[in-house]
Chain A
Amino acid sequence: MRTADLLRFDFQVLNRHRFRALMMLIAMSIGVAAVNLLTGLGEGAKAFVLGEFSMLGKNTLIMLPGKKETSGGMPPMMGAAPRDITLQDAEAMRRLSGVVQIAPLIVGMSEVSYGSRNREVMIAGTTASYFSIRQLSIRQGTALPEVPSDVASPVCVIGWKVKQEIFGERPALGQWLKAGDRRFRVVGIMDAKGQALGMDMNDLMLIPVASAQALFNQEGLFRVMIEVQSADMVKKTKQRVIDTMKLRHEGDEDVTVITQDSILAAFNKILDTMTLAVGGIGAISLLVAGILIMNVTLIAVTQRTKEIGLLKAIGATDRDVLQIFLTEATLMAVLGALLGVILSETALFIGRVIFPDIGFHTPPWAMVMSVVIAIVTSVLFAWGPSRRAARMEPVNALQGRN
């Protein structure tokens, strides 16, 4: 039988049994869509997290108060109150060998107002070094002044979104903003830059760290960013930082130092587990679809016993009959997989529209695998019933006995 004829013949069968075909198509496409959708979501989350932390740069350490036992992972949320990291601690880091520069960080929310406009803004207290560590660019004006970190001054640099929402089209440079009970003069406006480390740089106001300490009435630092000379010095420097802090804190190791690598490693572990779970779900749904295909093929063979007999009577070989039924199952699998891919792609597209920051994309390997597995499962499961059909004696089949 010619391939074109075989396909046409099977399409006619599927068209004739539209409902059954549709059910099979749906089951198959759900299986394939599940795999693609879940891996797409996983990959999106992974890319998002990786993107966030790679902005950190390979040679940046982050020191935060509190001790977390495992390397990497998330900082502790509660537990015994650790000693504060003071500005003096941070300054001590600056003097360590291998350290290029440091930036202390205090973060808090405050109501910021200008004239009658006001809104809650995240405020970060830091120093001029922060701009170079985070590679923030200034759109207008200047960065924070290069002054010793313990000097407070009433200036601020604001993100683009803050500028838009508080000043609109009016000029902001040189204007005085009120944050809490203090006033800050706008000296710079940051360029649009995306989300990083959970902070939207557009929706941020930066002030000198000493001013932030006063504004939030808080001595301890939230983070200290430490830039190291080169990537291969990160490990050594990290140890130096920990040792120094231990000395300064009477022998208690009560800070956590995280590096890009340690964070990525931790996330990768989580994401790998997720991928495994996704694989499991996908496998189960494809198995279900496979069993459905087997049953449907079995029903088809039973219903079409006489037709099989007739085909044999007019010259079809066992192989022809096997081919007809396997092709039918394969067609279903291909169509179902295609539909599944379209479904998941549409869903992921919608996901990307809703969350433009997160790149939801099914990795090509997952797409190829899901389609291949769908087809292989179908053929595998349709094989038994199809072979049964192929082996029927023509006379028995013609009389509807199988």
Chain B
Amino acid sequence: MIELQHINKTFQLGDQTVHALDDVSLLIDKGEYISVMGPSGSGKSTLLNVLGLLDQPNDGHYLLEGTDTTQLSEPERARYRRDHIGFVFQSYHLVNRLNARENIELPLVLAGIPPKERAPRVDEMLQRLSLTPRADHLPNQLSGGQRQRVAIGRAIIMKPQILLADEPTGNLDSKSGADVIELLEELNQQQGITLLIVTHDAAVGQRAHRRIRMVDGRIDTDKNGA
């Protein structure tokens, strides 16, 4: 359902060309649980951004459920991001002036879903994330783990098939980090959401069924099974 064909992504740094993704091809099935590891600067985030349609490759093709996303117009790409992809960032990226409930609700608001329909969905999400008592708290009134849970709630409120997490535990202590991983795995197991986690934490990386290791913009190893 996800297919990358010969994806290249370069950045120009002064007179130097950085090959962030170097002829990457990858096939991902629905419901897979994949970790992406590798040294800093190896292109993990770039890979995730391309998969999340946040960034466009220089060349190659990216097929999402049979659609070549490299051919899509800007609004169509936005629609795909909204309906098919959830993103979780290391630094949460919550909107500071909005409380937990409003942050989770944001994708529904952007999608133009009527308030009456939104409310029960957000309530259910808060419940599920054990954030109900924190619903009215602003991000700066929440702990790191709670913030990341809000961010995950926001990422999955539109019921995407793919969840991309770029170092989701990078800013968390081990306890909250473990909670977040547990939550992500639960989503993968119970809802069959395709999960990709970029991490520097070997322990976290080892938990995935499929482990991709990147080096210098290339997929170095791609291991399946335990």
Interface residues of A (CB under 8 A from B): 1-2, 4-5, 9, 12-13, 15-16, 306-307, 309-320, 393-395, 398
Q: Shortest Cβ distance from B52 into chain A, in angstroms? A: 7
Q: How far is the CA of A316 from the CA of B97 in the complex (A)?
A: 18
- Other than the known A315-B82, A315-B83, A317-B79, what 11 A-B pairs have Cβ atoms closer than 8 Å? A12-B98, A306-B93, A310-B95, A312-B54, A312-B81, A315-B81, A319-B75, A394-B53, A394-B81, A398-B89, A398-B93
Which residues of B pack against A, CB within 8 Å?
Answer: 49, 52-56, 74-75, 78-79, 81-83, 87, 89, 93, 95-98, 106-107, 109-112, 114-115, 154-155, 158
What's the minimum C-beta distance from B43 to chain A, rounded to whole angstroms? 13
A-B contact pairs, 6 of them (CB 8 A): A15-B97, A310-B93, A312-B54, A314-B106, A318-B75, A393-B54
Q: Is the CB of A311 within 8 A of B75?
A: no
Nearest Cβ in chain A — how far from B171, in angstroms? 15
Contacts of B89 in A (CB 8 A): 398
B74 touches A318 (CB 8 A): yes
Residues of A near B79 (CB, < 8 A) are: 315, 317
**A313-B87, A320-B110 given; A393·B82 CB < 8 A:** no
A315 touches B111 (CB 8 A): yes
List, in ascending order, chain B residues with CB within 8 A of A393's CB: 54-56
Q: Distance (Å) between the CB of A324 and the closest chain B CB?
A: 10
Distance in angstroms from A314 CB to nearest chain B CB is 5
| Contact partners of B78 in chain A: CB under 8 A | 312, 315-318, 320
- The answer for the CA separation of A130 and B142 in the assembled complex, in Å, is 87
Q: Kindly state the separation between the CA atoms of A258 and B52 in the bound complex, as whole angstroms.
A: 83
A-B contact count (CB 8 A): 76
Given contacts A5-B109, A9-B109, A313 and B54 within 8 Å (CB-CB):
yes
Pair A315/B110 contact, Cβ less than 8 Å = yes
Contact indicator B54/A398 (Cβ below 8 Å): yes
Task: Name the distance in Å between B98's Cβ and chain A's nearest Cβ.
Answer: 7
Residues of A within 8 A of B83 (CB): 315
Cα-based distance from A2 to B74 in the complex (angstroms): 20
Specify which chain B residues have a CB less than 8 angstroms from the CB of A314 in the assembled complex: 81-82, 87, 106-107, 110, 154-155, 158
What is the bound-complex CA distance between A306 and B97, given in angstroms? 13
B158 CB to closest chain A CB (Å) equals 7
Picked from A2, A9, A318, A395, the residue with its CB within 8 Å of the CB of B49 is A395
The answer to whether B97 touches A311 (Cβ under 8 A) is: no
- For B82, list chain A residues within 8 Å (CB): 314-315
Min Cβ gap B160→A in Å is: 10
B135 → chain A closest CB, angstroms? 16
- CB-defined contacts of A311 to chain B, threshold 8 Å: 106, 110
The 8 closest A-B pairs by CB, nearest first: A315-B82, A317-B78, A16-B97, A395-B55, A395-B54, A394-B54, A317-B75, A314-B107
Determine which residue in A12, A306, A316, A318 has the highest number of CB atoms from chain B within 10 A of its CB, and name it.
Answer: A316
Q: Which residue of chain B has the shortest Cβ distance to A17 in the bound complex?
A: B97
Min CB distance A220 to B, Å, is: 79
Given contacts A12-B97, A12-B98, A306-B93, contact A313 B110 (CB under 8 A): no
Given the complex of chains A and B, what is the CA–CA distance between A5 and B74 in angstroms?
23
Asked if B52 and A313 make an inter-chain contact with CB atoms under 8 angstroms apart, the answer reads yes
**Provided the pairs A314-B106, A314-B107, A394-B55 are in contact, do residues A2 and B114 lie with their beta carbons within 8 angstroms?**
yes
Roughly how many angstroms separate A289 CA and B89 CA in the complex, as a whole number?
39
Are A313 and B98 within 8 A (Cβ)?
no
Complex interface: chain A residues within 8 A of B110 (CB): 1, 311, 314-316, 320
